[in-house]
Amino acid sequence: MSTNARRHSHVRKSAGWVFGAKFTLISLMGIAGFSVILCGQGGPPAAAPQGLTPATSSSANVGSIQGTVVSAETNEPLAGAHVEARLSRYGSRRRATAAEALTDSQGRFELSGLPPDLYIVSAALDGFVTWEYGQHARFDMGVPLKLSAGQRISDISIQLHRSAAITGHVYDENGKPFAGVEVAALQPSYTSGRLQLEASLVFRAGSPTRVNPPAETNELGEFRISDLLPGQYFVWAKYAPNERIGKAMFDPAHPGRLKNPLPPRGYPETRKNPGPGKVYLETFYPGVHHGASASPIVLREGEEFSSADFKLQSVQTVTVKGQIISFGCGEPPWEVPGPRIALWPSDPDAHSFSTSAIMTPEGAFEIKGVVPGAYSLSISNLAFGKKCQGRMALQVGEAGLEGVALTMAPPFEINGKLFIEGHADGDFSRVIIALSVRDRGVKLFNNAHATPGPDGSFQLENVAEGQYDIGALRLPKNYFIKSARLAGVDVLATGITVDSDHPPGRLEIVVSPQAASVEGVISENHRPLAGATVALVPESLQGGDRELVALRLFKSAFTDASGHFNLQGIEPGDYRVFAWDSIPANAYKSPEFLQQYANSSTRVHVTEGSHSSLQLNAIPTS
């Protein structure tokens, strides 16, 4: 049975995880859209389906959910599909099954004996991709159904897509079959408005990922990735014998893995050595090392693409050596673990990076296995209760680098106070004042944030040099940041610069309860559309620099079972409202993505305390 990853579930960079790379694409050639139809409530009950397992409840006010499972391709009913209702209040991985059933010959099912609650309804069938009611894309969640006491929800429809697959071969640079290579079918995602391919293949067991379950090449170099939806994919391969997903991470019976998996990589019979100091580069089909040059594979319903063949090339790695220079951040000898050093690619389209720094107690460091290219070298150290940081650009050539002087200095502190305009209405005890890096490409070990005290005062500690936007998280839903002044200068729109030439002054933030709101209903084919993505985008993003638009200005929501959405906490200004049947997570923050839909958006001007109501048609993306 297929499993579904969940919405907004990115693999995080943390200790104990091994990471691949992110690759920026120039363009997005297509995104498959999938529809799930709510046909209404009421009507005659369906005939009893097969294999019904009702939930047990001592209450007489139990309800039921009835509907059909059909083919997304032909709209024909699907018999024998396994349908279950799970309690929505638990996490995506912890939902308890409340009732389950098999569809009858007409594709009908009934889930009965359900106490009042919120339920996620899903359907699974061999040869099809598991789907949830209200789900529009592979990594979306379904729309919860609210069941009242004694209520009967009728005629919901879940459409299942036939599973597609990609098969092929991986060879080494000499054209010989390459065993033990991890191969994945990647789909585009967005981070801070940039289109990327997520290639982080090693993660904790049970953690969600935006990467379809990978396959591993066998002794003939063959791989097969199945259980794929129609849509666009980029095939990515990586050989790293010391990095292992392992059969404990994925069930060997999962359709995304071979029936007879090889022994763990690192065993002599599967390990391949490219030569002293060499590594195999991560590679995209048809044999390129940058995502921008990769060729997409577009799959139709139930299609198998069987010629994804390519070679892996090895490259000579080099070493970067240097010395830590500390200004008030502790002195050698440093005890383990000591300062943390990381090497990041400057080019978001780069193919590799290394973080394996070896450091002596005297502060000399060495980073081995570095692929030549442009990098940003960062350091962080906790000294005297402060997180010292430093960052520098490096151009690593074929001979490597020696004598690098990596400087770290104490961080800055920003003292401030949060003021509430008018009478405080809501819970401010959980509000967080946060600085977000304006240059989305800069990697920092932490972003400064603080919770104001009862009198509104706060202190942002460990602020590294850089440019930042100001945000306030967990504000009551009707509040917005009305003003922000640093040392008496308005910085709400411009952001703040922190460095030795711009020492920060006092930051005063005023929040107002007069935030605007925009609500409405999204329809498709004259019917309310559940699970649609609605986004409010600042007008200034159109044709502008994404780095100059604060992330706090973007708002998004998913429509409920009635197609309704409600966007709150909006700052006064000019915006565009978009509504899609399905898009990749955070794609609405990308100017390039929005450009193709500019004529399908609705302009809206909001003022303090204004409320707008819209009736919109969903933008099809399939």
Give pLDDT tens digits for 228-257: 888 888 898 988 765 543 332 333 333 333
Per-residue pLDDT tens over the stretch 241-300: 655 433 323 333 333 333 333 333 333 334 566 767 788 888 889 998 877 788 889 999
Q: Please state, in angstroms and rounded to a whole number, the distance separating the CA atoms of residues 389 and 461.
A: 12
* pLDDT at residue 152 in the model: 93
Q: What is the pLDDT of residues 342-378, one digit of tens each?
A: 888 876 555 455 556 788 888 899 998 888 888 889 8
Is residue 116 packed enough to be buried (19+ CB in 10 Å), middle (13-18) or exposed (0-12)? middle
Confidence class of residue 385 from pLDDT cuts 50, 70 and 90? low
Q: What is the mean pLDDT of the chain?
A: 78
CB environment 523-552: b (16+ within 10 A), e (fewer):
bbeeebbbbbbbbbbbbbbeeeebbebbeb
- Which pTM does this prediction carry? 0.67
Fill in the amino acid letter for 483. S
**SS3 state at 365:** strand
φ, ψ of residue 432 in degrees (nearest 5): -125, 125
Domains of the chain by range and CATH?
22-32+163-315 (2.60.40.10), 50-160 (2.60.40.10), 317-408 (2.60.40.10), 412-512 (2.60.40.10), 517-617 (2.60.40.10)
Least confident of 157-166, 382-391, 426-435: 382-391
How sure is the predictor about 383, in pLDDT bands with cuts at 50, 70 and 90?
low
Q: In what order do the strands lie in the sheet with 357-359?
A: 357-359, 364-370, 318-326, 401-408
For residues 76-103, give the mean pLDDT. Answer: 82
3-state secondary structure of 434: strand
The pLDDT of residue 335 is 67
Instruction: Band the pLDDT of 16: cuts 50, 70, 90.
Output: very low
With 0-12 / 13-18 / 19 or more C-beta atoms within 10 angstroms meaning exposed / middle / buried, residue 292 is middle
Task: Say which residues have a Cβ less than 8 Å from residue 230's Cβ, sequence separation at least 6.
Answer: 32, 161, 164, 299, 300, 301, 303
CA angle 8/12/16 to nearest 5° reads 150
What is the number of residues in the chain? 622
Half-sphere exposure of 343 (CA within 13 A, CB side): 28
Residue 292 has a pLDDT of 72
pLDDT at 542: 59
Least confident piece of the model among 71-85, 323-337, 400-414, 564-578: 323-337
pLDDT at 565 over 90: yes
Residue 557: is its pLDDT beyond 50? yes
pLDDT at residue 142 above 70?
A: yes
CA 447 – CA 471 distance, rounded (Å): 12
Q: Convert the pLDDT of each residue in 403-420 to its tens digit.
A: 999 998 888 999 999 999
pLDDT at 537 over 90: yes
Determine the Cα–Cα distance for residues 54 and 64; give it in Å rounded to an integer.
9
In the predicted model, is pLDDT for residue 448 greater than 90?
no
Cα–Cα distance between 11 and 13 in angstroms, integer?
7
Instruction: Indicate if the pLDDT at residue 33 is higher than 60.
Output: no
DSSP class per residue in 133-195: TT--STTPPPPPEEE-TT-EEEEEEEEEPBPEEEEEEEE-TTS-B--S-EEEEE-EEEETTEE
461-471 pLDDT, tens digit each: 888 888 898 99
Q: Which position has the higher pLDDT, 516 or 465? A: 516
From 161, 278, 258, select the one nearest 214 (Cα to Cα): 258
Query: What gap in Å lies between CA 515 and CA 332, rounded to an integer?
Result: 52
- Range with the lowest mean pLDDT among 111-115, 312-316, 499-503, 571-575? 499-503
Higher pLDDT, 187 or 25: 187
Distances (CA, A) of 139 to 64, 212, 347, 582: 27, 10, 27, 10
